[in-house]
Amino acid sequence: MKMTVQSPAKLNLFLEINGKRNDGYHLISTVMQSVTLYDDITVTVDKEGHGIELSCNKENIPCDSSNTAYKAAEVFFEHTGLPKAAVSIRIKKRIPSGAGMAGGSTDAAGVLYALNELYETGMTNEELAGLGERIGADVPFCVYGGTMSATGIGSILSPLPDMPDCHIVIVMPDFRISTAEAYNRSDSLGYDFTKSMENMTGAICSERLAQTAAALYNRFEEVAGIDEISEIKEMMLRSGALGALMTGSGSAVFGIFDDRDKASSCEDNLSRKYDEVFIVHPDRAGPQKVVPGGLIGSLLG
């Protein structure tokens, strides 16, 4: 049995840290958006064999039990009680790693989706998201995809209307930001004053792109204070972006455009300095099955 799925990247349109619990977990409020930049995950099952094998086209990606895609296969078999088979997972990565774009989490969601289909276990998206929560904080969202808000420790998800159609330019700088260090910097500044995500959710519900772009916010970007992030944003805004922001704990930066030519011009300018620059659009689904001639099947379909 074999299946290939495409799993989309994630952007944070809004991300606030509201505090830290006694158990060390942080309380957040965020609005997340799937975009049309995909990793390909091919899952092959041999029921006569045993064990998980994982490979990736990028040398810097671990291919052992620390990989979230590997963990997803383990969690699937633990939950279903099915006999463990020989599972081969092949990942073709396009989503940059260390970008704040949920590249590892969306790979895990893709494995859960593929195994659910291959074994015809009939789990709902809600059940798969529950399994995803055992793997990583962003996996449940990646199972659903689309446009959603999240609160609590990031596990309380609420669907939102689709983000208005637009062109999004993403650039990955040549440096990475430690998520742990980003949280430490935020903790050191305290949480006496935090922003509400109401402006963002209101703009999305009203289907107003300019207001959505105006409501972009990320505490991680604010506390990082990295000049190059600010410089990239300024380049995007000068090129006609309605708004620009770093996503997640970084270090990818994106700009929202309502004009295709301006987005293309921005991409050209940034590509002179950076190797990883993409133009994408909002996506309305999570992992999707690849078939000849296109994509079918999504967890929301």
Query: Which residues are the active-site residues?
Result: 10, 138
Contacts of 41 (CB under 8 A, 6+ apart): 4, 5, 6, 7, 69, 89, 90, 91, 92, 107, 110, 111, 114, 287
3-state SS class at 124: coil
- Encoded tokens for 282: 């909002």
Q: Residue 299: is it exposed, middle or buried by C-beta count within 10 angstroms (0-12/13-18/19+)?
A: buried
Instruction: Fill in the amino acid letter for 104.
Output: G
Nearest C-alpha neighbor of 219 from the set 173, 166, 179: 179
Distance of CA 143 to the CA centre of its chain: 10
Dihedral (Cα; 194, 196, 197, 199), 10-degree rounding: -130
